Chains A and B, each alone.
Chain A
Amino acid sequence: MKRIVADPAKCMACRACGIACALAHAEGEDLVEAILEGARPRVYVEAAGKLAVPLQCRHCEDAPCVRVCPSGALSRAGEDEPVLVDQDRCIGCAFCVQACPFGVIRLAGRGKAMSADRQVAGLKAVIKCDLCASLRAEGREPACVTACPVGALSFEEVEASAKRTRARAAAAAACEGKR
C-alpha cells in the first residue's frame, strides 16, 4: 500500500499541506468559505527541536483506532486499504483519539462526509487522513503531497522510501570508511 512519506529534513513548516488538506475535504474551492463551513486539516506539522515534522494517519496494519472503536466507525475495506471513518457511525467517544500512538485523529465539527441530519444536530465526529480517497479515485495523489512546495512529502510504497534511506546510509558509511 502506498503511504505518505515525510522528509523532516526538507520540511519548511509552511503548512501548505494543512491548507490543501482542509480544502480537499471541503465542499467548495474557496479557502475562506471552507474555513467558515468548518473544514479542518488532517495533517499536522509538529516541531521537533529545529525540525518540523508533518504527521498524518499512518494507516497502521494493526490499527489501535480500529480495535478500540465501539461503534465500528473505523474500518478498512480490506488488506492494503487505508483506515477510513464512517462519520455517520461515529458516536464521538474519542477512544480512537486516545488510542492513536501519533495523535493524528481528532474530533471535529460537521464535515461533507456526514449526513445532513447529523450536521444539523451539530454532532461532532472524528476526522483523520483518508489518503484523499476522492482524489485517488481520479488517479491523483493526496492533496498534501501535491501542495508541498519543497517535495518534503511523497506518496509511495514504504519499501521505496526505505530503499532510498538504505542508499543514503550506504553512501554515508562509504564516506566514513574513506576517512
Chain B
Amino acid sequence: MAGSQKRSVDPASQAMIDCACEAGVDIAWDRLAAQEPQCGFGALGICCRNCAMGPCRIDPFGEGADKGVCGATADTIVARNLLRSLLGGAAAHSDHGREIVHALALAAEGKSEAYRVKSPAKLRKLAAEYGIEHEGRTDGEVAKDLAHFLLGEFGKQEGELLDVQRAPEQQRKNWQVVGAVPRGVDREIVTGMHMTNVGVDNDPEHLIMGAVRASLADGWGGSMIATDVSDVLFGSPRWVRSRANLGVLKDDEVNVIVHGHEPTLSDVIVAASQDPGLLAEAKAKGANGINLAGICCTANEILMRHGIPIAGNYLQQELAILTGAVEVMLVDVQCVWPSLAELQKCFHTKVISTSSKAKFPGATHIEFHEDEAMETARKILRIAIDNFANRDRSKVRIPSEQEGLIAGFTTENVFEMLGGRYRPSYRPLNDGIQTGRLRGVAGVVGCNNPKFTHDEYHLAMVKELIRNDVLVVQTGCSAIACGKAGLLAPEAAEKYAGKGLQEICRAVGIPPVLHVGSCVDNSRILTACAEMVKEGGIGDSFDKLPVAGAAPEWMSEKAISIGMYVVASGIYTVVNPALCVKGSRVVEELLTKSFEKLFGATWAFEEDPVRGARLMIDHIDRKRRDLGLPGPMYEVPYAPRAEKAAVAVAG
C-alpha cells in the first residue's frame, strides 16, 4: 500500500503496516496524522502549565503576551519545561536502577530463588571500588553490603555520587564550576521539580544547570548503577550471536514477546522458558516449543546476556501483535503504548502488564514482585501456552525478514576483544585512532519517532559514519535498527565500512558497529570513554577525545537526560528532532554555543542524518587536529543524501 515505504525502511515493518491498512486498524502513524498539525507553542516550548494562574503562552510572533501571568519570559518557560521533561527521563532510568539494586538485595538476603550473583568478578570489582570489605567474605555477604551501599546512593543528600569519581578530572572540574556535581540520585530530581515550581528558579541558565546536575545523577548515577548491578546479577555480557526482526517469530511455537525495560522479569522469563515441564506442556498443546523474543530495551538486556532474538524496536510494538502469531506480550515499564491493549482485541494476543508502576486499561495485570519472580514467570508462560490453541491461523502473517547479528560488547570485555584474554587492553583502539586508521568513535543511540521514516535516519547516519572510518557504538532502539539491517554483523565491515575501519574489524574480529546494550547502558559508553582517556594518547579528558554522539530519531524524555549528561560530559551530540527550546534564543544558544565554554561540547540540532554524521565527523577531525594527530589514513569524499529521502513522513 502507498505510504508504508514513507513510514518505514524496514521491509518487515512495511509489510505489517500494509496489513494494518488492509485491516483498517489504526497504528501509531495514523494517530500521528490525526494529531497534525501539532501545537506550535508546544514545539517551541513556550507554554506553561505549572500553576493555576495559567495555562500561559508566549506569543512567538512578538506581538501579544511576552510574559506569563507570574512574569516568566519565554526564556524562563522554555528552560523550566526542558528541566521538567529531563527530570521525567532521569527518574525513569534511575527508578529502573533502583529496582535492580533491590533485586540484588533480595538475592543477597536469600529472599528470592530467582536471583543470584552471576558475576562474582564484577561484584568484587565494584566492592573494591566502593571500599566494601570483600576478601574472605561470601558473594552473598558482599552483595548485601553493595546493595545497601548503592540504595544509599539513591537517597544520599550531601556530598557527591561516588560514580562521579570515574569521570576524568577535567569533567569533574567543569561540573564543580557550574554547581552541577550530583549529590544523590533522587535528590537532584526532587530539587529539579522544586526549581520548576511556580515562583522558584526563574534564571534560564541556572535552570539548565539544574538539568545538567539531574542528568549527571542519571548517567553517572542511576543508569550506571543499573548497568553495573545488572551485570552482577544477570551476568556480565559476552559476545553473542543472535537474530533480529519480526521473522524471529515462529509459526509452530508459542511466541512470547517481552517488551519494556527492566531485566528483573525478562531475565527470569528466559530461565522459565527453558523449563522442561513448561516445554512439555507446550508440546501437549501442539506447539513445538516456547519462542521468546524481545522489543525495546528489555530485549537488549536479554539479547546481551542470553542471545535471545529481537522481534523489533520501538515502532514495531504494534506491528508484532499484527502478525497474529503472538500468544503473550509481556510488558513492564517505559515506551509501552496504551494502544496495545486495544489492538490485542483484534487477535488472540494477551497483553500482560506486570509492573506495580504501570497499568494498562484492557490488559491483563499480573503484578510482578522480585521475591516470587519464578512463580510469576511460570504463570505468565502457562497463560501463553494455553493461548496457543486460540491462534487464528487465517490471521497469521509473519514476515520472513530477520538478520544475524553480534551483540554483548561492554566496557570490560572490549579490553579482551582488543587485547586478547592474556593482555587485555584498550591500546589497539587508541593506537588505531592515533594512526588515523580509525578516525574516531561515535555513539548513535535512541528511539524511533513516527515523524521520521522508521529506522532510516539511524541507518543513514551509521552508514555514513562507518564509511568514514568512524567506529560506531550503539544502544537501545538504534542498535536494533542496525541489527535488522545487518550492520551488527562482522560482514558489514566489508560491505559498508571505510578501508581503515575494515582493517581494524578484520584484525580484531569485530563488526564495525558494536551493540553495547539497553538505554541505561549508555553509561557503558561513558565508562568506555574513561578507559580510552586512561589508556592515553588521545586526550586526557572527554572533551579532547575524537568522539561524538547522536540520537537521530529520539522521542522519549529519557533521551533528553541522556543527551544532556553526554554533552555535559564533554561529548558533542547531534539530535533530531530539535529539543523544544526554539522559543527561546537564550536557551538555544546556551545549549548549542555557550556549553562549549562550560563543558567543552555542545548540542547540535540537525534533521538530515547524513549532514548530522558530517557534523560529527567534522567535530572528530577538529579534535584530531587539536591533539596533533594525523589526518585520517583514508579520506572518503562526502556524499550528500538524496533530497527526496530527507522528507519527513506526513502520515
Instruction: Please determine whether A35 and B37 come into contact, CB atoms closer than 8 angstroms.
Output: no
- List of B residues within 8 angstroms of A15 by Cβ: 41, 57
Residue A110 CB within 8 A of the other chain: no
**Nearest chain-A residue to B61 (Cβ)?**
A40
Instruction: Please determine whether B37 and A16 come into contact, CB atoms closer than 8 angstroms.
Output: yes
Q: What is the size category of the interface that chain B forms with chain A?
A: 10 to 19
Instruction: Please determine whether A31 and B43 come into contact, CB atoms closer than 8 angstroms.
Output: yes
Residue B11 CB within 8 A of the other chain: no
A174 to B582 CA separation, bound complex (whole angstroms): 53
Closest chain B CB from A41 CB (angstroms) = 7
Q: Mark B55-71, 1 if CB is under 8 A from A, else 0.
A: 00100111100000000
Residue A69 CB within 8 A of the other chain: no
- List of B residues within 8 angstroms of A39 by Cβ: 61
A31 to B40 CA separation, bound complex (whole angstroms): 8
- List of A residues within 8 angstroms of B582 by Cβ: 31-32
- List of B residues within 8 angstroms of A35 by Cβ: 60-62
8 Å CB contacts to A: which residues of B30-48? 37, 39-41, 43-44
Residue A20 CB within 8 A of the other chain: yes
Instruction: Please determine whether A14 and B61 come into contact, CB atoms closer than 8 angstroms.
Output: no
Closest chain A CB from B39 CB (angstroms) = 6
Residue A85 CB within 8 A of the other chain: no
- List of A residues within 8 angstroms of B41 by Cβ: 14-15, 19
Closest chain A CB from B43 CB (angstroms) = 7
Closest chain B CB from A146 CB (angstroms) = 8
- List of A residues within 8 angstroms of B40 by Cβ: 16, 19, 31
**Nearest chain-B residue to A147 (Cβ)?**
B37
- List of B residues within 8 angstroms of A40 by Cβ: 61, 63
8 Å CB contacts to A: which residues of B577-597? 582
A135 to B600 CA separation, bound complex (whole angstroms): 47
A16 to B57 CA separation, bound complex (whole angstroms): 12
A147 to B582 CA separation, bound complex (whole angstroms): 21
8 Å CB contacts to A: which residues of B204-224? none
Instruction: Please determine whether B60 and A14 come into contact, CB atoms closer than 8 angstroms.
Output: no
- List of A residues within 8 angstroms of B61 by Cβ: 18, 22, 35, 39-41
Instruction: Please determine whether A20 and B60 come into contact, CB atoms closer than 8 angstroms.
Output: no
A178 to B534 CA separation, bound complex (whole angstroms): 87
8 Å CB contacts to B: which residues of A22-78? 22, 31-32, 35, 39-41
Closest chain B CB from A96 CB (angstroms) = 19
**Nearest chain-A residue to B35 (Cβ)?**
A149
A146 to B43 CA separation, bound complex (whole angstroms): 19
Total contacting residues, chain A, CB less than 8 A: 15
Closest chain B CB from A105 CB (angstroms) = 14
**Nearest chain-B residue to A45 (Cβ)?**
B64
Closest chain A CB from B307 CB (angstroms) = 45
- List of B residues within 8 angstroms of A32 by Cβ: 44, 582
**Nearest chain-A residue to B47 (Cβ)?**
A14
8 Å CB contacts to B: which residues of A125-176? 146-147
**Nearest chain-A residue to B578 (Cβ)?**
A32
- List of B residues within 8 angstroms of A20 by Cβ: 37
**Nearest chain-A residue to B40 (Cβ)?**
A19
A40 to B60 CA separation, bound complex (whole angstroms): 10
A147 to B43 CA separation, bound complex (whole angstroms): 15
A14 to B63 CA separation, bound complex (whole angstroms): 16
- List of A residues within 8 angstroms of B37 by Cβ: 16, 19-20, 146-147
A20 to B43 CA separation, bound complex (whole angstroms): 13
- List of A residues within 8 angstroms of B62 by Cβ: 35
Closest chain A CB from B74 CB (angstroms) = 12
Closest chain B CB from A141 CB (angstroms) = 13
A146 to B61 CA separation, bound complex (whole angstroms): 21
A35 to B583 CA separation, bound complex (whole angstroms): 10
Q: Mark B483-502, 1 if CB is under 8 A from A, else 0.
A: 00000000000000000000
**Nearest chain-B residue to A146 (Cβ)?**
B37
A176 to B590 CA separation, bound complex (whole angstroms): 63
Instruction: Please determine whether B44 and A31 come into contact, CB atoms closer than 8 angstroms.
Output: yes
A166 to B438 CA separation, bound complex (whole angstroms): 76
Q: Mark A92-133, 1 if CB is under 8 A from B, else 0.
A: 000000000000000000000000000000000000000000
Closest chain B CB from A21 CB (angstroms) = 10
A41 to B60 CA separation, bound complex (whole angstroms): 11
**Nearest chain-A residue to B42 (Cβ)?**
A14
- List of A residues within 8 angstroms of B57 by Cβ: 15
**Nearest chain-B residue to A31 (Cβ)?**
B40
A30 to B157 CA separation, bound complex (whole angstroms): 44
Instruction: Please determine whether B39 and A31 come into contact, CB atoms closer than 8 angstroms.
Output: no
Closest chain A CB from B577 CB (angstroms) = 12
- List of A residues within 8 angstroms of B60 by Cβ: 19, 31, 35
A62 to B44 CA separation, bound complex (whole angstroms): 40
A19 to B61 CA separation, bound complex (whole angstroms): 9
A6 to B72 CA separation, bound complex (whole angstroms): 32
- List of B residues within 8 angstroms of A19 by Cβ: 37, 39-41, 60
Give the most central of A20, A31, A39: most B CB within 10 Å. A31
A18 to B62 CA separation, bound complex (whole angstroms): 13
- List of B residues within 8 angstroms of A146 by Cβ: 37
A31 to B37 CA separation, bound complex (whole angstroms): 12
**Nearest chain-B residue to A106 (Cβ)?**
B63
- With A40-B63, A41-B61 in contact, do A14 and B39 touch (Cβ < 8 Å)? yes
**Nearest chain-A residue to B583 (Cβ)?**
A32
Closest chain B CB from A106 CB (angstroms) = 9
8 Å CB contacts to A: which residues of B1-54? 37, 39-41, 43-44
Closest chain B CB from A149 CB (angstroms) = 8
**Nearest chain-B residue to A39 (Cβ)?**
B61
A14 to B38 CA separation, bound complex (whole angstroms): 11
Closest chain B CB from A7 CB (angstroms) = 19
**Nearest chain-B residue to A38 (Cβ)?**
B61
**Nearest chain-B residue to A44 (Cβ)?**
B64
Closest chain A CB from B583 CB (angstroms) = 8
Closest chain B CB from A111 CB (angstroms) = 13
A146 to B40 CA separation, bound complex (whole angstroms): 15
A139 to B377 CA separation, bound complex (whole angstroms): 57
Closest chain B CB from A37 CB (angstroms) = 11
Closest chain B CB from A46 CB (angstroms) = 11
**Nearest chain-B residue to A33 (Cβ)?**
B582
Q: Mark B549-589, 1 if CB is under 8 A from A, else 0.
A: 00000000000000000000000000000000010000000
Closest chain B CB from A127 CB (angstroms) = 12
Give the most central of B37, B44, B582: most A CB within 10 Å. B37
A30 to B557 CA separation, bound complex (whole angstroms): 23
A50 to B11 CA separation, bound complex (whole angstroms): 52
- List of A residues within 8 angstroms of B44 by Cβ: 31-32
**Nearest chain-A residue to B582 (Cβ)?**
A32
A147 to B40 CA separation, bound complex (whole angstroms): 11
A19 to B41 CA separation, bound complex (whole angstroms): 9
Give the most central of B44, B57, B60: most A CB within 10 Å. B60
A9 to B39 CA separation, bound complex (whole angstroms): 20
Give the most central of B41, B43, B57: most A CB within 10 Å. B41
Closest chain B CB from A155 CB (angstroms) = 16
Seen from chain A, the residues whose Cβ lies within 8 Å of a Cβ on chain B are 14-16, 18-20, 22, 31-32, 35, 39-41, 146-147
Q: Return 11 A-B CB contacts under 8 Å, by A number.
A: A14-B39, A16-B40, A19-B60, A20-B37, A31-B43, A31-B60, A32-B44, A35-B61, A35-B62, A41-B61, A147-B37
New A-B contacts (11) at CB < 8 Å, excluding given A16-B37, A31-B40, A41-B61: A14-B39, A14-B41, A15-B41, A16-B40, A18-B61, A19-B40, A22-B61, A31-B44, A32-B44, A35-B62, A40-B63
7 nearest A-B pairs in the assembled complex, by CB-CB distance: A19-B40, A32-B582, A147-B37, A31-B40, A40-B61, A35-B60, A20-B37
